[in-house]
Amino acid sequence: MVTPPRSPREVGSGNDDVSGLTGDDEFDHELLVELALSVGAAVVWWLDLGTDRLGWKPGLDAVIGVPGEAHDVVRTRLAELIAPLTVAAKAAPAWQDFELEQSFETPAGRRWLHFRARVSTHGSARALVGVVADVTRRNVQQQELADLADRYRLLVDLAPEAIVVHEAGLLVYANPAAVQFVRARSESDLLGRPITDFVHPDSAPEMLRRISKLTEPGATSDPSDAVLVRFDGGTTDIESVSVRTTWEGRPAFQVIMRDVTEQKAAAAALRYQAALAAHVSDALIATTSDAVVTSWNRSAEKVYGRRAIEVIGRPIAEVVGAPLDPVEVLEAGGVVDAVHRSFDGGVLAMRVSAARMDDGYVLICADETARRRAEHHFTAVVAAIEEGVLVVGSTGLVESVNPAAERILGVRAQEVIGQPASLAELHDESGQPIAQADYSSAITRATGRAQHGRILRSLRPDGSHVWLSLSARALSPDGMLPSATVVSFTDITERRMIDSQLEHEATHDALTGLCNRTVTINRLSPAARTHRSGLTAVLFIDLDKFKVINDSLGHSTGDEVLRVVGTRLSRSARRGDVVGRLGGDEFTVIAYGVTGPDEATALADHVRAELNRPISVDGRRLHVDASVGIVLAEPGDPRGGADLLRDADLAMYQAKTRGRGRIAFFDVELRDSIQRRLQLEQDLRTAPLGDQLWLAYQPIVDLRTDRRTAVEGLLRWTHPRYGLISPGEFIPLAEESDLINIIGAHMLHTATREIADLAPDLELTVNLSARQLDDPWLVSAVRHATHKAGLDPSSLCLEITESALTRDPALAARTLAALRDLGVRLAIDDFGTGYSSLAQLLALPLDTLKIDRSFTAGLGRSDEAEAIVTSIIAMAHAVDMTVIAEGVEQVEQLEILRTLGCDQAQGFLLGRPVPLADL
């Protein structure tokens, strides 16, 4: 601590002693102590404001930069330095404080002094008392800190990587690269938004898991891949690193993101090498304008093997082991390649970028040693892989060829290097030659756009062809065009052959080799028919009785027959016609340019004639015929292929109903008829549930007593749309669609219940169809129906047509015997219309024989009809069977039947079918 003198006076001359203040009044001792403490290590000085005399304590000369000089020199320098304070103090009140910083040049550099003073009074005397301290070190440090902050801010702003900071999940900072990464207009578009808005949902969970592990300040995550969502709706593949940091004193996370889209698109080996390069850390170095190091980050320490404390203050060229002038780097475009040396003498391949700062430069030195080494490895990898690789320069000439490319293309490297990449002749998948401007390498060189997976055919020098799956990518990282490209390709010739075979199998029938249904439908589409003139005839061909051949001789014989049929159809069709197999024994012929129905009929007849020729299979001569449905379509017909096939199928069905081996044309009425039939079949499935089915009862009269002894239950259907449907229309539908058993059971239950409830004195007759005789549950259904209704089984008579008995006589006999065991009576209906033998009928347990109405109608008009009816009655009575005549509509017929001894009769003359309540 310096003790102030008692009164101000000038310093004596000729010695280094400094006198104290003169006079009787003593200045405040505590004043000088306070001033000295406020500036640290300081020297006291004073000025008498009345006499302008200066005084100072020893050591002042060294502080103000004139060490050892004479007192006059010291006084002059001090007066110059405090001149601003002197002017202000003379007009200031007592105890006014003053501060002043002054700088000056010395041989050792600029120095900074800090003056602090106060006006002090003692009596009438006024003095400016102060202290001075050298603050050069502090100012330099502050300036260096400010410069360092500016340099690092500039590094972040100029960094190609996107850098953001998020606090509590919200973005609080984004550098220009980050704004560009997400295609935003400015930083304001990002700040304040959740960081998850810019991370793909698939990447967000992993990102949140990663940052949750960063619990300590400075903690850093491993580099990881993620997908960034841009403002334009697109995505960018990035590699990111998260660092735990602070923002305005609060915990936050800094994320550094690198665009790795191109690396993701590269081949496996290239992606591996790119990943190595992406993880190499960069040395960040700041220098003065004279290229003296002022900042040296940890990566620089790691790359060069020198600590920051060892290099700061030394020339940059000295510490990197090679000439390095930031000015020359800037003049060369801002980026240069160089060879540096590490501390241990190791050679470093560096990529140096430079940027100018206010008073120096910032250098980014990227260590590419590993990348250069990786390039050598890459060369070895490319030489070993099975994929062909060509490097094409920006001029379009081949620069390198790997061994796989030589093998695939059938060339030698020395023959093609330096030659145009368009040397090989290429064709597209349709066989058309590709123009040189449309080669993948040419497109990529001109536009920079990558080409992926183009399928091409290349002509080898030996004249053979090879199919290639080819890709091309730009090699130039700066985006300059034209660009060097890497062309990679694989030999897919074998796969192409397999694909062609699979395509053929997918479009052709495996058994006959004909077009399948899919191709047939496509060839019938309106687009396929627009360029055809004339009518298009669609022949839908179905083989008659093919099932008999297949079932009796086996599927192998049936398959051989189908193959022969396919061959004959192909030969009988005209050139340009399409022949296909739709499945099973259904075929089609599509004939274009037909003039009309006559030509279509002639073609169908020709097809049938070819098919009618005997087919020899395993020593057997087989004969087949076909039913053909034909549709004629105008060029502008809007029907699709499936619709035309459907209509042709309807016509074929119509041909079969007219008798096999026929030809039928489709018309709208046929479609309406079929559609009605399909609608009725569909509605018939739900008719029993909707009370649409009901029973009408027709009386059966005993001709000896003229009394009604029985009724026949006849099923009726009242359709909600079409009204009353004839049994002749819906019963065949039920039999063909396997609904007859359900409907028959419904009819049996309804009839037995109604008769038991309303007319228990009458016997009930119910018809059974041929399909019901095949039902193994028929006997159980009859037993259940009579039991539930409380009807004696002997009151029930089941009618079976004569033709039904001929389907499977053995099965019919067993079923009828089981029904007879229940006590049910049995009748044969429509007798005389079938083909069964009389002996077979007599062997069955039948009770009643019903004469068909066709014989009854001839009574009174035909002697032959009367003779037949007489014989039937006599035969039936001979075996104790009751005879019922159907279709009695005239009195004359009734009298003749009585005369002939017929037992019972039914018909409109005796009563029409009506509901039971109206009977």
Rounded to the nearest 5 degrees, what angle is found at the Cα of 328, between the Cα atoms of 327 and 330?
65
pLDDT band (50, 70, 90) for residue 775: confident
Residues 6+ positions from 758 with CB-CB distance below 8 Å:
916, 917
pLDDT for the residue 354: 93
Q: What is the pLDDT of residue 300?
A: 93
Element (H, E) at 254: strand 250-259
Would you call the peptide bond into 160 cis, given omega within 30 degrees of 0 as the criterion?
A: no
Residues 628-665 pLDDT 10s: 999 999 888 888 989 999 999 989 988 887 877 899 99
CA gap 648, 656 in Å, rounded: 13
pLDDT digits (tens, 9 = 90+) for 293-340: 999 999 999 999 999 999 999 999 999 999 999 999 999 988 999 999
Reading the block at residue 649, the tokens are 């199928």
Q: Where residue 33 falls among pLDDT bands split at 50, 70, 90? A: low
Question: Does the pLDDT of residue 34 top 80, yes or no?
Answer: no
Q: What is the dihedral of CA 313, 316, 322, 328, to 10 degrees?
A: -150
Across 486-498, b (16+ Cβ under 10 Å) vs e yields bbbbbbbbeebee
CA distance 799 to 830: 9
- Give the torsion through C-alpha atoms of 680, 681, 686, 688, to 10 deg: 90
Q: Can you give 826-858 as a three-state secondary structure string?
A: EEEEEECCCCCCHHHHHCCCCCEEEECHHHHCC
Structure-derived torsion over alpha carbons of residues 741, 747, 751, 752, reported in degrees to the nearest 10: 30
What average pLDDT score do residues 197-225 get?
87
* pLDDT confidence tier of residue 216, bands split at 50, 70 and 90: confident
User: What per-residue confidence (pLDDT) applies to 629?
Assistant: 93
Q: How far apart are CA 724 and CA 703, in angstroms?
A: 32
180 burial via Cβ count (<10 Å: 0-12, 13-18, 19+): middle
CB 840 within 8 A of CB 812: no
pLDDT in tens, 678-718: 788 888 888 888 789 999 999 999 999 999 999 999 999 99
Type of residue at 797: C
- Residue 555: which pLDDT band, with cuts at 50, 70 and 90? confident
The set of residues, in sequence order, having a beta carbon less than 8 Å from that of 747 and lying 6+ positions away, is 693, 695, 713, 715, 766
Burial class (CB in 10 A: 0-12, 13-18, 19+), 189: middle
Residue showing tokens 């059971």: 745
pLDDT at 25 over 60: no
Average pLDDT over the chain, rounded to whole? 84
Which runs of E-coded beta strand occur in 645-748? 663-665, 693-702, 707-719, 723-725
Residue 568 has pLDDT above 70, yes or no: yes
Q: 726: helix, coil or strand?
A: coil
Mean pLDDT value across residues 790-794:
92
pLDDT at 478: 64
Q: What's the token pair of residue 754?
A: 């109604």
> What's the distance, Cα to Cα, between the start and end of the chain in Å?
143
On whether the CB atoms of residues 787 and 756 are closer than 8 A, the answer is no
**Would you say residue 404 has pLDDT above 50?**
yes
Q: Is pLDDT at 39 greater than 60 in this prediction?
A: no
Looking at residue 857, its pLDDT comes to 92
Which residue, chain included where needed, has tokens 């405090």? 82
Which helix (H) or strand (E) covers residue 443, if one does? helix 440-447
Note the residue count of the chain. Answer: 919
Q: How many alpha carbons lie under 13 Å from residue 294 in its C-beta half-sphere?
A: 24
Q: What is the pLDDT at residue 26?
A: 43
Integer Cα distance of 366 and 368 in angstroms: 6
Q: How far is 301 from 863, CA to CA, in rounded Å?
A: 131
Read off the tokens for 25. 């009044």
* Token pair for 811: 């099965």
At 591, the pLDDT band (50, 70, 90 cuts) reads very high
* Long-range pairs for 216-222: beta carbons < 8 A, 24 or more residues apart: 216/244, 217/244, 217/245, 217/246, 217/251, 218/243, 218/244, 218/245, 219/243, 219/244, 220/244
The three-point CA angle 148-149-153 to 5° equals 115
Q: What is the pLDDT of residues 329-386, one digit of tens each?
A: 999 988 999 999 999 988 899 999 999 987 899 999 998 888 777 777 776 777 667 7
Find the DSSP H helices in 796-907: 802-807, 809-822, 838-842, 853-856, 863-878, 891-900
Rg (CA), the chain: 56
| Of 843, 827, 822, 844, the residue nearest 904 (C-alpha) | 827
Mean pLDDT, to the nearest integer, of 266-290?
61
**Cβ proximity of 168 and 72 under 8 Å:** no
Mean pLDDT of 662-670: 85
Report the b/e string of 298-311 with b at 16+ CB within 10 A: ebbbebbebeeeeb
Question: What's the confidence (pLDDT) of residue 873?
Answer: 92
Ramachandran angles phi, psi of 398, nearest 5°: -70, 130
Give tens-digit pLDDT for 102-117.
Answer: 888 888 788 899 999 9
Residue 37 in 3-state DSSP? helix
Over residues 157-174, the mean pLDDT reads: 86
Q: Beta partners for 701?
A: 708, 905
d(CA 318, CA 521) in angstroms, rounded, equals: 82
- Report the 10 Å Cβ neighbour count for 265: 15
Supply the pLDDT for residue 382: 74
Q: Are strands 904-905 and 882-885 parallel, antiparallel or unpaired?
A: parallel
Per-residue pLDDT tens over the stretch 92-102: 888 888 998 88
pLDDT for 276: 36
d(CA 650, CA 656): 10
Residue with tokens 């002042």: 60
Q: Which segments within 433-576 are labelled E, that is strand?
A: 451-459, 465-474, 485-491, 535-544
* Sign of the torsion formed by the C-alpha atoms of 768, 772, 773 and 777: negative
Q: Is the pLDDT of residue 277 over 50?
A: no
Evaluated on CA atoms 189, 190, 196, 201, the torsion sign reads: positive
Rounded Cα distance, 483 and 479, in Å:
7
DSSP string computed for 43-59? EEEEEETTT--EEE-TT
Residue type (1 letter), 496: R
Task: Report residue 280's pLDDT band, with 50, 70 and 90 as the boundaries.
Answer: very low
Dump strand ranges (E) for 545-644.
Answer: 578-583, 586-594, 615-617, 620-622, 625-633
Q: How far is CA 549 from CA 511, 543, 624, 733, in A?
A: 17, 11, 9, 27
CB of 115 closer than 8 Å to CB of 83: no
State yes or no: pLDDT of 625 exceeds 60: yes
pLDDT at 121 over 90: no
Which residue spans within 96-221 are E strands per DSSP? 97-106, 109-122, 125-134, 162-167, 170-174
Q: Which of 627, 639, 631, 628 is nearest to 666 (CA)?
A: 631
Q: Which residue has the tokens 């016509």?
A: 651
Q: What's the token pair of residue 642?
A: 């499936």
**Percent of the chain whose pLDDT exceeds 70:** 90
| Residue 73 or residue 382, greater confidence | 73
Place of tokens 């039971």: 916
pLDDT score recorded for residue 463: 81
Q: Amino acid letter at 123?
A: G
CA distance 525 to 74: 112
**Encoding tokens for residue 162?**
């996107």
Report the 10 Å Cβ neighbour count for 540.
28
State both tokens at 730.
């819906």
Given a cut of 60, whether residue 270 has pLDDT beyond it is no
Alpha-helical regions (H) of 116-174:
136-158
